[in-house]
Structure 1
Amino acid sequence: MIFKRLLDKQQSSPPMEAPPTNVEPIANTAQLFIQAIQAATHYPDDLIVKSLSPTLTLLYINHLVDNQTLNDHIIAPLQVNTTTTPEAVIDTLSVADIQHGSILAEAIDALVHGAALIHVAGYSKVIFASIITRETRALSTPENESQVIGTQVGFNESLATNISLIRRYIISPDLCHKKITIGRRTHTAVSLIYIHGIASEQMVNTVQQRLTDLRIDALIDSAVLAEMIDDNSLSVFPQMLLTERPDRFCDGLLDGKVGIVVDGSSMAVICPQSFSEFFQSQEDQNLRWPIATFVRLLRLAAFFLSVYLTPFYVAALTFHYEVIPQAFIVPLSESRALVPFPPIFEALLLEIIIELLREAGARLPTKIGQTIGIVGGIVIGTAAVQAGITSNILLIIIALSALASFTSPSYMMGNVVRLIRFPIILLAGYWGFYGIMLAFCFLLIHLLRQSSLGAPYLSPFYPPRFKDMRDSIIRMPIPLTAKRPTFTRPTDEYKFNPDEPIKPKKS
């Protein structure tokens, strides 16, 4: 409630005013133009100014332009063919992206985006030749969404490379790409991608409006963008999927979803997203349907096991001894005979230790992190049991819960499991099974109230859509999945004609 009031108060306050637009014209002399550019960029040391001829002046930011293209396609032609008009300069240059403008703000914007500015003396006009270069890493295997069967390539931090990967999977003129600039300071390029004829126009307009209405200084990563444009930013549950796999991204587009790619981020956003889809992996589409169904059920069972197993232990040992099997009471009592702490303190202590080991292993270098996780877990666990701080049974339960939390294919949903476990343990320690049921009802009500771009978060179970359930928890055979999920409200409801066979006839 406190965060909700703060958010409502912030939204009710007047929005941040946009900076005044600079409509100052381009000076017709080279000296005044250079002074205006230097003053606007605060006299940076990497601003290079070259005089190519008495009438031509070249300006660019070092390390932001491609030096080879600059020398071969701009400097060399202009030094050989001395021109005196902007039109002649444009005809001389062999650069693909070349424009001209007469406003100083346009020239500054092009300069910081990797363009070389060419000023012709006597004209209030400047030429922008975009020759930007960026250091990007090569395509590699996705680290957070690895799979055995399927493609082994992931997004990187280059927007152009990511768009080319998407167009490699979906070779269609219906693949729409809209570019939006976000960030008053960073001017981050954001691409809105969808398939015309499949994605709902209302959904596309909603996402586009949320992106264009953002009034922020900077945008660095796609995870920040997803939190800012989702339906409920105060919820711990993610409503949009972050993925580094182009095949999963394209599969979402083909289902009628909308994708967002942010320049400088290796994670793309897919929306809308239901709760059950966070437990689905792209590899499920490549496995045989019985195996994929078993794996999905295993992930969902691991979610409940990770959340409720430790609270069940705390509640049973604190209030409800009658639920413990009689054959299990004696070894359980012997295991806890030397433990001086109540079950709730014992469980919270081990949970915190597990989280410390997990966080330390994730932040340390790869080789050291694996060693710390394995050795630290064994040493601390063994020492804790021998010192009488915890019991063997609880140590097994905590380790099993931590292992089950890693089964979620989505890293964001795995973090949710790590967080909600602690308040449920507290409720189980104070009110037993009643506290567990109270936490379950609270989570269920919260999930029922959530939405993703206006679509029900618990779809297809609430509201019940039985036809969509065939590809939610259960992965049905591909010939039975002709219809796209109604969750995305697609314009084209069918992937293929269900009345025609999609497999070739046997000879």
Structure 2
Amino acid sequence: MRPVKKRANQADLPLSMDEFENKLETEVLNSQDLSFTVYKQENKQVAVFYIPYLVDSTKIEQQVLNNLLDMQTECTADSILSEIPLSSGEQVSSIRTIRNKLTEGYVGLYVEQENQVIMYELGKTEKRALEKAETESVVVGPLIAFTESLESNLNIINWRMNTPDLAMEKVEVGKRNPKETRIIYLKSVANETDVNTMRQRLSDLEIDMVEDIHIIKQYILDSSTSIFAQFVSSELVDRSMYAIKSGKIIVMVEDSPFALIAPSTLFSFFESTEDRYFHWTLSMFVRFLRFLAAFVTLLLTPMYVVATTYHYELVPSQLLVSLGESRSVVPFPPLIEVFLIELVIELLREAGARLPTKVGQTIGIVGGVVVGTAAVQAGISSNILIILVTMSALASYATPSYVMGNTIRFVRFPLFFLAGFYGIIGLMFGICLLVIHLVRLESLGRPYLAPLYPLRLADFNKAFYRLPEQTKYKRFLSYRPKDKQLFNKERAAKRRDIDE
């Protein structure tokens, strides 16, 4: 008889079959994540239990169930180990150990009233190429992205974050074509109010079918009239893992490769997964560039309209001469001039996005150069405006989130119309309306402008700038996590003496 690994555990067995099943469902995992089947073997009951998306069902049937049902001897823990020829067999008697083994891809067998559970490692191996995400480019850090298979995604999450504290609640969304949806979070970290709010919103959905997570997102927004995205969506596994660790919730649905991250703030859309892998000084510099690029995209062309229509004193005298010469042949007022050029740039951008990759890039670059040159030569636009619009277009690409980049470009249009009609007063009025809207906006009930409003200085080093990781011993407090500490500050502050 081959040797069997035995573990010294605090014994929670023996139990009756009903008691054992209830203990697993209430103390180990959500019952929806546990496959628990009882088989009759002569005069004894044998339970086979596992988490379906973590194990290979073919191996269970061929290597466990077939041998179990063909047993000719009395069914006991020892006889199961003898009859099932797998080297990974272990005997355990602690519920906590059973829980840990299940999350690692083990299948368990329990004979009623025995004092041991037999565990076999039959984990599923995901054979998936490490492909780059289509919508999020990564230079440094893990490249693996989610797929359209929810089972595969749950397997990847368990592989990356193997902890019993990980909760994966199941919700069915869709009346005619129900699709499995998962709410994923850390039980000891995520705020219960946020979890309950998300659970309630998903449960209350009355829609026929769900094609993608972005369809669900439109139904659970705090403000459906706002153009600003209120939840971050990502196909990068690494970003979702960091969000879960931070106390956030992610939502995934079958047939969608994206995870919905909630709650989210405005500043979440300016974060990149690479920020955590660079030195903090470089990450802080790049993040400041992104914020600067957003302001350039939003205000550069409206300020041009203001300066050339009402407030020439804003332009330096030497530049004013060049600007006057450039605009002397343009038959349109600055507002119409800016609107036409911006519209052409947006058309080129949309055309480049819809064409095949290589052709789209060529159309975007060549088309922009040709149209800009032709517009200046034809006297439709000034050469200074072409430079400003080009700078604004380049700055818009610095925003890591494609959705937020589109939003900023769209908001620019009403701003330069206000600037054209009312000058600097109109522009300031538009900015004030924008700020008021952002202050009133929420994401899963949390302030959208946190930590700027309400002011929480402790979160500034996570939202606006970066400091060394050793200084970030607390999670993002604006999300009100249960466990606020990332690590022990006192232990992290200790330094070894020079003689040590």
**Taking structure 2 as the reference length, what is the TM-score of the superposition?**
0.73
Partner of 1:485: 476
The AA in structure 2 aligned to 1:173 is: P
- Structure 1 residue 446 corresponds to structure 2 residue 437: yes
Q: 1:333 to 1:370 in 2, by over 3 A?
A: same
Partner of 1:109: none
What CA distance in whole angstroms lies between the structure 2 residues aligned with 1:502 and 1:222? 43
What CA distance in whole angstroms lies between the structure 2 residues aligned with 1:480 and 1:298? 23
Partner of 1:260: 251
Cα-Cα RMSD: 1.9
Partner of 1:191: 182
Partner of 1:221: 212
Selected match of 1:208 from 199, 205, 210? 199
What CA distance in whole angstroms lies between the structure 2 residues aligned with 1:349 and 1:235? 26
What CA distance in whole angstroms lies between the structure 1 residues aligned with 2:214 and 2:285? 30
- Structure 1 residue 358 corresponds to structure 2 residue 366: no
Q: 1:168 to 1:504 in 2, by over 3 A?
A: farther
- Structure 1 residue 173 corresponds to structure 2 residue 170: no
Selected match of 1:456 from 431, 435, 447? 447
Please say if residues 132 and 138 of structure 2, whose CA atoms lie closer than 8 Å, have aligned partners that are also in contact.
no
What CA distance in whole angstroms lies between the structure 1 residues aligned with 2:336 and 2:428? 20
Partner of 2:155: 164
- Structure 1 residue 340 corresponds to structure 2 residue 359: no
Once the two structures are TM-superposed, the CA of residue 275 in structure 1 deviates from its matched residue by 0.9
Once the two structures are TM-superposed, the CA of residue 143 in structure 1 deviates from its matched residue by 2.1
Give ranges in structure 2 of 5+ residues lacking alignment: 1-56, 71-126
Once the two structures are TM-superposed, the CA of residue 489 in structure 1 deviates from its matched residue by 1.0
SS of residue in 2 equivalent to 1:407: coil
Once the two structures are TM-superposed, the CA of residue 321 in structure 1 deviates from its matched residue by 0.7
Please say if residues 137 and 156 of structure 1, whose CA atoms lie closer than 8 Å, have aligned partners that are also in contact.
no
The AA in structure 2 aligned to 1:311 is: P
Once the two structures are TM-superposed, the CA of residue 366 in structure 1 deviates from its matched residue by 0.6
Identical residues among aligned pairs (%)? 46
Selected match of 2:415 from 400, 403, 424? 424
Partner of 1:372: 363
Once the two structures are TM-superposed, the CA of residue 502 in structure 1 deviates from its matched residue by 7.6
Selected match of 1:322 from 297, 313, 316? 313
1:304-363 C-alpha deviation (Å, 9 max, x unpaired): 110110000001100001111111111111111211111000100011101000000000
Please say if residues 145 and 235 of structure 2, whose CA atoms lie closer than 8 Å, have aligned partners that are also in contact.
yes
Please say if residues 201 and 220 of structure 2, whose CA atoms lie closer than 8 Å, have aligned partners that are also in contact.
yes
Once the two structures are TM-superposed, the CA of residue 475 in structure 1 deviates from its matched residue by 0.8
The AA in structure 2 aligned to 1:297 is: F
Partner of 1:312: 303
What CA distance in whole angstroms lies between the structure 2 residues aligned with 1:156 and 1:436? 44
Once the two structures are TM-superposed, the CA of residue 137 in structure 1 deviates from its matched residue by 8.1
1:22-77 C-alpha deviation (Å, 9 max, x unpaired): xxxxxxxxxxxxxxxxxxxxxxxxxxxxxxxxxxxxxxxxxxxxxx98xx98xxx9
Give runs of aligned pairs for residues 230-245 of structure 1, distance below 5 A.
230-245=221-236
Once the two structures are TM-superposed, the CA of residue 186 in structure 1 deviates from its matched residue by 2.1
1:432-482 C-alpha deviation (Å, 9 max, x unpaired): 111110110000000000111111111111111111112111111101101
What CA distance in whole angstroms lies between the structure 2 residues aligned with 1:216 and 1:495? 39
What CA distance in whole angstroms lies between the structure 1 residues aligned with 2:493 and 2:206? 48
1:214-257 C-alpha deviation (Å, 9 max, x unpaired): 00011111112112112111100111100111111110111110
1:286-311 C-alpha deviation (Å, 9 max, x unpaired): 11111111111110111111011000
1:351-395 C-alpha deviation (Å, 9 max, x unpaired): 110100000000011111111111111111111111111011000
Once the two structures are TM-superposed, the CA of residue 398 in structure 1 deviates from its matched residue by 0.5
SS of residue in 1 equivalent to 2:185: strand
User: Which 4+ runs in 1 deviate beyond 3 A?
Assistant: 136-139, 502-507
Aligned residues: 378
Give ranges in structure 1 of 5+ residues lacking alignment: 1-67, 82-135
The AA in structure 1 aligned to 2:386 is: L
Give runs of aligned pairs for residues 19-168 of structure 1, distance below 5 A.
139-168=130-159
Partner of 2:114: none
What CA distance in whole angstroms lies between the structure 1 residues aligned with 2:462 and 2:412? 28
What CA distance in whole angstroms lies between the structure 2 residues aligned with 1:138 and 1:470? 35
What CA distance in whole angstroms lies between the structure 2 residues aligned with 1:438 and 1:268? 37
